[in-house]
């Protein structure tokens, strides 16, 4: 039997980001994954929303393929296959970066290796036993079974989480009466138009993204040459939904039902693996608690929902960044009482909100004249500037405000993009995942916070970007306290609340 502070079950994007966050804080976890190597299965195709700003705070946005400088907002998005213009949204929070999940995992594995994280491929969790000191994890590997004694265990083992089920944590929610099918395919070259789109005889051009039709939904996106991602969404059960593995013939039949004509689907060329999957009934579920004793749930182990609009990684990776610094403080013994409980109290409401909007998108994709009328009304509403702004923040997750105990307009929200007079961006001050007190008033706040200098980076400077006199930013980028006055109260209380006593 071996001992460690933290075990993370699952080396997907969420588990790996958490491992990196812990390592930055001086806690090196053991990461277990029953797969023999990182999965190359095509899943998510990109990152959207606030998480890109958090990756920028760790210096990973450019590493993952983003442009120089801060993430740039996109001019538009989709909501249930309805276009949403964001051109005139002030401080547009909607960011996107096309990055397929296998590549994301490869980059995170390399990052974890640089930080000295112990990632054990081919080591799967077989059982969990809570103890007085933490938890004992039974592990299966090719070299034989063994036990790990850990102070904390984080379940990042997916929607069918063995750990969540073994601990008896409820997973309430609903299952939609839909069947979704998706596959990488190739279409004949003579169907390709000059602009690169495919034109299906009897139907017309295949639009990018989701399209609602009279008999269901169509999904089309091409991220690599000669490999089109094509999918369908049908409402109500269909013949063959449970008859063995998904096939291209099944997708052909489904596509004909949805669009009314034959789609000449061919098997894709080039190296795989290629997507070929069916989701018979989309689950929207969330754990009744994200923490039970010294076991915490992360990502799909905590919540599952529709992938429409791409909220999955935005939600799960932000869970990881929220949890990382709090769990590290607990391990190091510097956490104030109750800090780790705020992971559940802050993040579970966010999961509920994502389920709300993803279920809404599914409902608006359903066929029928009532939904036709509702979509027409919804489309009219999305022409209103206030509605577009509301929807942008909902989809990006930038409307999330944590109850941090401070009433300043910035407090509780992700810190704004800000550049100091010397050219340093606020995001660059958060590279090491440490809290930052940014004193823009001349140094008085930094002086009064000196007793926390071992835990908080004290930065004095000036900035023309904001009238704020000072702000305290947590390691996850969220503002814990701020003031517009050079003698604003509450700083020492905020420091003690989030980072322990002086």
First to last CA, the chain: 38
pLDDT band at 1 (very low <50, low <70, confident <90, very high): low
Domains in the chain (CATH in brackets) are 2-45+100-171+285-365 (3.50.50.60), 177-280 (3.30.70.2450), 426-499 (3.40.30.120)
Nearest Cα to Cα of residue 238 among 185, 180, 308, 306: 180
In tens, the pLDDT along 170-193 reads 999 999 999 999 999 999 989 998
pTM: 0.96
Mean pLDDT of the region 95-120: 95
pLDDT of res. 238: 59
Instruction: Give one DSSP letter per residue of 471-489, joined into a string.
Output: EEE-TTSBEEEEESSTT-S
Residue 240 has pLDDT above 60, yes or no: no
Residue 114 tokens, joined: 């640089």
Nearest Cα to Cα of residue 320 among 295, 293, 296: 296
Return d(Cα 485, Cα 420) in angstroms, integer.
Answer: 18
Mean pLDDT of the region 349-370: 96
DSSP state of 338: T
Mean pLDDT, the chain, rounded, equals 94
In tens, the pLDDT along 430-487 reads 999 999 999 999 878 989 899 999 999 999 999 988 899 999 999 999 999 999 999 8
DSSP state of 410: T
């Amino acid at each position: 039997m071996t001992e460690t502070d933290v075990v993370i079950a699952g080396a997907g994007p969420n588990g790996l980001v958490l491992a990196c966050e812990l390592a930055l804080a001086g806690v090196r976890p053991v990461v277990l994954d029953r797969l023999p190597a990182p999965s190359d299965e095509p899943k998510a195709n990109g990152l959207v929303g606030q998480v890109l700003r958090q990756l920028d705070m760790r210096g990973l946005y450019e590493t993952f393929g983003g442009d120089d400088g801060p993430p740039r907002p996109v001019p538009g998005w989709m909501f249930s296959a309805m276009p949403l213009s964001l051109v005139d949204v002030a401080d547009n929070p909607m960011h996107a970066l096309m990055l397929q999940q296998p590549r994301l995992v490869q980059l995170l594995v390399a990052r974890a290796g640089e930080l000295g994280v112990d990632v054990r491929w081919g080591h799967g969790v077989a059982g969990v036993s809570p103890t007085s000191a933490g938890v004992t994890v039974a592990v299966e590997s090719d070299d034989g079974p063994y036990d790990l004694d850990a102070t904390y265990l984080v379940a990042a083992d997916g929607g069918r989480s063995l750990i969540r089920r073994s601990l008896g944590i409820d997973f309430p929610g609903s299952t939609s009466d839909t069947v979704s099918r998706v596959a990488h395919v190739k279409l004949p070259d003579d169907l390709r138009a000059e602009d690169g789109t495919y034109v299906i005889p009897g139907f017309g051009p295949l639009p990018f993204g989701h399209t609602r039709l009279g008999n269901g939904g169509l999904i089309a996106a091409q991220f690599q040459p000669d490999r089109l991602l094509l999918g369908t969404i049908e409402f109500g059960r269909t013949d063959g939904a449970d008859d063995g593995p998904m096939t291209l013939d099944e997708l052909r039949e489904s596509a004909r039902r949805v669009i009314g004509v034959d789609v000449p689907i061919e098997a894709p060329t080039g190296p795989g693996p290629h997507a070929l999957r069916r989701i018979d009934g989309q689950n929207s579920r969330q754990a009744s608690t994200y923490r039970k004793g010294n076991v915490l749930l992360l990502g799909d182990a905590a919540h599952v929902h529709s992938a429409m609009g791409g909220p999955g990684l935005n939600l799960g990776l932000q869970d990881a960044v929220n949890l990382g610094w709090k769990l590290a403080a607990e391990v190091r013994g510097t956490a104030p009482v109750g800090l780790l409980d705020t992971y559940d109290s802050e993040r579970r409401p966010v999961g509920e909100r994502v389920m709300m909007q993803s279920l809404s998108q599914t409902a608006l994709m359903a066929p029928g004249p009532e939904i036709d009328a509702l979509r027409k009304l919804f489309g009219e509403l999305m022409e209103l500037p206030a509605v577009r702004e509301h929807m942008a923040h909902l989809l990006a997750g930038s409307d999330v405000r944590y109850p941090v105990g401070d009433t300043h307009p910035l407090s509780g929200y992700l810190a704004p993009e800000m550049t100091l007079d010397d050219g340093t961006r606020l995001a660059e001050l958060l590279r090491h995942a440490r809290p930052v007190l940014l004193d823009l008033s001349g140094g008085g706040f930094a002086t009064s916070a000196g007793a926390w200098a071992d835990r908080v980076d004290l930065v004095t400077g000036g900035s023309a970007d904001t009238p704020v006199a000072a702000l305290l930013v947590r390691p996850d980028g969220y503002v814990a306290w701020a003031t517009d006055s050079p003698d604003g109260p509450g700083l020492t209380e905020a420091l003690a609340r989030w980072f322990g006593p002086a």
